[in-house]
Structure 1
Amino acid sequence: MILPRPTTPRFLRTLKLIFRPVEYLDDYGQQFGDMFAVGSEDYPFVYVNHPKAIQEIFTADKEIFDSGKGNAVLKFLLGANSITLLDGEPHQRQRKLLIPPFYAERLRAYHQIIDNIAQEVTNKWQEGQIIRVRTHIQDITLQVILQVVFGLEQGQRYDQLRDLLTTLLEALSTPLSSTLLFFPQLRQDWGNFSPWGRFLRCKQQVDELLRREIQERRQENNLDKEDILSLLLATSYEDGKPMTDEEIRDELMTMLVAGHETTASALTWALYWVYSQPIIKDKLRFELSGLGKNPSPSDIAKLPYLGAVCSETLRIYPVALTPFPRILKKPFDVMGYHFNPGTVLTPCIYLVHQREDLYPEPKKFKPERFLERQYSPYEYFPFGGGNRRCIGLSLAMLEMKLILAAIVSRFDLALTTHRPLKPVRRGLTLAPPGNFKLKVKAKFNA
């Protein structure tokens, strides 16, 4: 069988993917159905939108794919040692070391840190104030990363990293600046007069600060700290060798980009949905009130409706439209289609999450669907799947729940406009527009 494919010229397709990504996928999904190809006839890029096909991909022998190779576009940002760019044995070796810090028992140590940061940032909000939501939420998630992952407390290096990391990530935050990811020829270093030149110099400063922090922490040899950097410094591979400074630096950058940016986008969406639909806000506040005064973060994290709101947020507009692509090393069959080595297979999170047969009225925000049905990891996979599933998903969900609960239980917010909020591209991800605002109508004592 031959896969359907669009006839639009590649350049025009790419521009639409950059500037109107949701429309791009909606149009082709409706036109072509469960699978369609773009790009070269010999080595096509295949979007896969059917749960059965996705199951075949996620459960296939991992040795038939080069997944890290498909992420080479991120090397300039994450570094060559990032787990995202590794394949085969190096990937499995690194993954074994990175998973333990994200176990549930480890995450319990971070509950109060997340809750404290959320309350500290939002305590500054005043009745009548109009807040630029992304700015405040990103401040919270960045502080969480700096404390939970990097183990940094307030101080000069904390402030330097906070400012530099914000500048670095904002450099790729608009659809226009995202063109640097899709058109390598635009990456010209003309010093501080060019966007790429400014980005490279900022990245060099971040790398140097991380290098110093890693070296100093290694010399301290403090085994009592519970942040993820300390855990990585204390661990070793099966042959007894520790992770190198370069490996740790690249994994810290990966956690920063994958954990801070994406969680900030998801939380901004969650606040939009909660405060644009009063019935959802009321249900959520009622559930939270059932825990009494000063509930523990552990009890908050277990609330079912709160979890459903977070899950539905990640369904309707997943931060990643697709997981990382998988490049075939061997011939492979999927649902009757035969693919040759070099083919790129990409399960499409967005299009699967929009399937009417799985999610009736998919364009509507309905948290109850996650209380009424259990979805398989091939029907709902906002964090990817198979052996490339995001290792930080538990931390991301914990952050979403605790931060959303901290805001909803203490503030009544209102939209400043009733125009529907449309997603925009932010680097390789999908995000609410950066100018989305809410007005503080009332502030409560939690």
Structure 2
Amino acid sequence: MVNKLPNGPKKASFLQLINWISDPFGLLERCSQSYGDTFTLQLMESKPFVFFSHPQAIQEIFNLDAKQFDAGRSNNVIRPLVGDKSLLLIDKEPHQRQRKLLMPAFHGPKIQAYGQQICQITELVTSNWSIGEQISIRAAMQEITLQIIMQVVFGLGEGSRYQQLKPKLAAILDMTGSPGRSSMLFFEFLQQDWGAWSPWGKFLRLKQQIHDLLQAEISDRRTQSELTGTDILTLLISARDEQGEAMTDEELRDELMTLLVAGHETTATALAWAFYWIHQLPSVQEKLLSELETLGETPDPMEVARLPYLTAVCQETLRLYPVVPITTPRITTSPVQIMGQQFDTNTSLTPCIYLTHHREDLYPDSKQFKPERFIERQYSSAEFIPFGGGNRRCIGSALAMLEIKLVLATVLSHYQLTLADGKPIKPGRRGVTLSPVGGVNMIVKGKRSLQSQPKQPVTSST
């Protein structure tokens, strides 16, 4: 007996996918209003996606045994970007092995060691700003986050390979930089190589050039008698599994591409939203600057990262318009029960970040930007889920949060900025992410030097 799926739109799957590409947040809100906490979308022929926004359901999904689902094949849309061996695309034992190899490079002292680098890169990029200049904050943040990826992850800060790789990496991400161009990833019939002049042909050739450069870097590192770098590529080349086996060149290359796609675009987008809200709401900016002043002009990066209001601003940014609307769907390989309801094999169980973050019972006035909510309340790992959860939680979440905090603090400590106009900014699709449409244009009003003040505790607003 086939179990009945939750209700959902009756439109053809092709039309539902068009809506998902063009206006995912709008589609989710309409479905939530019509069908409640759980509903079904047909985003692909014969493959139902069941969306969940109730924290209990999400916790049950995150707690599922990895043997009960596949998650990798639900990420097929990004396979052309990241490659077959990406952590995002593998399951079961290969996924567990790869995650164990990657984990040490993204936790504890390793992450803390990158703090100074992040601040220095931010200062270097922003040193080119001129007073009175109008800048696209998203473009500036992309430049910063790309340089962080190049140096912290790839270990490249200069030289011929750096000069070749940097523009190519930026270019391949820009190829899916609008809803129209993003369609290449979602519709296989658009993935036709009709030569270097065709969109897909251009994409494939650019990807091959990047792969060749990454392979050359990997090969060079492997020939070194002693690996002494602190970058993530060096750590991954040195990593060994329980059998003493190292990662293959293909695994290394695909993980580097994954870190680029998952760690560059997403962080730049979150930063752009943060600058928008901080400068849209004077009270938020005032509180944040007051808190930064308590540390003086040259604070230790980890002291900055521990600031409570700065942390709350970053959390609220990731809550209001999450960079991706859903976590990795779990495709059931056997029947499972979620909140008492049975789901058959080959159902995509999809925790919805956006709808969970906009539950009024969790986040009153959810459309408003209120960092104080994260100071007043501790949210569970099924209530605040910008990085997913369970065994598919984003492995780079600690580095991403550190990066967002330090870039924000560094820029705000050195520059006075203002929004170029007061118009509200809405999210729009950029590849698999949702980004502020127009890039958040701002004007550099002047330089700022924060004066050290006595430390004051951050309290909730009334």
Give the TM-score category using the shorter length. Answer: over 0.9
1:221 Cα deviation after fit: 3.6
3-state SS in 2 of match to 1:213? helix
1:2 Cα deviation after fit: 4.9
1:178 aligned partner? 182
List per-residue Cα deviations over 1:234-280 (Å, max 9, x = no partner): 11111111111111111111011101110000001000010111111
1:296 aligned partner? 300
- Name the count of aligned residue pairs: 446
Contact 1:6 1:28 in 2 (8 A): yes
1:128 aligned partner? 132
Contact 1:2 1:337 in 2 (8 A): no
Specify which of 438, 444, 457 is matched with residue 440 of structure 1: 444
1:364 paired with 2:371, answer no
Q: What pairs with 1:399-438 in structure 2 (closer than 5 Å)?
A: 399-438=403-442
> Structure 2: how far apart are the matches of 1:43 and 1:324?
15
1:332 aligned partner? 336
1:92 paired with 2:89, answer no
> Structure 2: how far apart are the matches of 1:368 and 1:191?
53
2:15 aligned partner? 12
1:10 Cα deviation after fit: 2.3
2:454 aligned partner? none
1:34 paired with 2:50, answer no
List per-residue Cα deviations over 1:337-368 (Å, max 9, x = no partner): 21110111100000000000000000000000
1:383 paired with 2:383, answer no
1:434 Cα deviation after fit: 3.9
Specify which of 324, 334, 337 is matched with residue 320 of structure 1: 324
2:455 aligned partner? none
Label 1:41 to 1:254 Cα distance change in 2 as closer, same or farther (>3 A): closer
> Structure 2: how far apart are the matches of 1:2 and 1:329?
16
Contact 1:126 1:443 in 2 (8 A): no
Specify which of 248, 253, 256 is matched with residue 257 of structure 2: 253
Specify which of 141, 144, 148 is matched with residue 148 of structure 2: 144
3-state SS in 2 of match to 1:141? helix
1:292 Cα deviation after fit: 1.5
Q: What letter matches 1:198 in structure 2?
A: K
1:294 Cα deviation after fit: 1.1
> Structure 1: how far apart are the matches of 2:300 and 2:277?
25
1:60 paired with 2:31, answer no
> Structure 1: how far apart are the matches of 2:219 and 2:357?
44
1:82 Cα deviation after fit: 0.6
Alpha carbon RMSD of aligned pairs, Å? 1.3
**Runs of 5+ consecutive residues of structure 2 not aligned to the other structure:** 451-462
1:347 aligned partner? 351
> Structure 1: how far apart are the matches of 2:302 and 2:348?
41
> Structure 2: how far apart are the matches of 1:43 and 1:297?
46
Q: What letter matches 1:25 in structure 2?
A: L
1:235 paired with 2:239, answer yes
Specify which of 205, 209, 213 is matched with residue 209 of structure 1: 213
When the two structures are superposed, what TM-score results if normalisation uses the length of structure 2?
0.94
Contact 1:114 1:399 in 2 (8 A): yes
List per-residue Cα deviations over 1:396-432 (Å, max 9, x = no partner): 0000000000111111111112111000001111111
| Segment drifting more, 382-391 vs 216-225 | 216-225
When the two structures are superposed, what TM-score results if normalisation uses the length of structure 1?
0.98
3-state SS in 2 of match to 1:140? helix
1:211 Cα deviation after fit: 0.1
2:27 aligned partner? 24
> Structure 2: how far apart are the matches of 1:92 and 1:11?
34
> Structure 2: how far apart are the matches of 1:43 and 1:396?
32
3-state SS in 1 of match to 2:40? strand
List per-residue Cα deviations over 1:109-149 (Å, max 9, x = no partner): 11110000000111111111000111111000000000000
> Structure 2: how far apart are the matches of 1:334 and 1:241?
38
1:77 aligned partner? 81
1:73 Cα deviation after fit: 2.2
1:43 Cα deviation after fit: 4.4
| Segment drifting more, 280-289 vs 331-340 | 331-340
> Structure 2: how far apart are the matches of 1:370 and 1:76?
37
Specify which of 225, 228, 238 is matched with residue 224 of structure 1: 228
Contact 2:274 2:313 in 1 (8 A): yes
List per-residue Cα deviations over 1:71-109 (Å, max 9, x = no partner): 122221111111111100010011000000011211121
Specify which of 282, 289, 301 is matched with residue 285 of structure 1: 289
1:222 Cα deviation after fit: 3.1
Q: What letter matches 2:28 in structure 1?
A: L
> Structure 2: how far apart are the matches of 1:278 and 1:429?
28
Contact 2:103 2:395 in 1 (8 A): yes
1:190 paired with 2:197, answer no
Contact 2:16 2:41 in 1 (8 A): no
Contact 1:281 1:408 in 2 (8 A): no
- Of all paired residues, the percent bearing the same amino acid is 52
> Structure 2: how far apart are the matches of 1:28 and 1:166?
35
1:336 Cα deviation after fit: 2.5
> Structure 2: how far apart are the matches of 1:41 and 1:214?
40
1:328 Cα deviation after fit: 0.3
3-state SS in 2 of match to 1:380? coil
| Segment drifting more, 283-292 vs 68-77 | 68-77
Runs of 4 or more consecutive aligned structure 1 residues displaced over 3 Å after TM superposition: 40-43
Specify which of 142, 164, 168 is matched with residue 168 of structure 2: 164
Q: What letter matches 1:248 in structure 2?
A: L
Specify which of 97, 108, 129 is matched with residue 104 of structure 1: 108
Q: What letter matches 2:9 in structure 1?
A: P
**Runs of 5+ consecutive residues of structure 1 not aligned to the other structure:** none
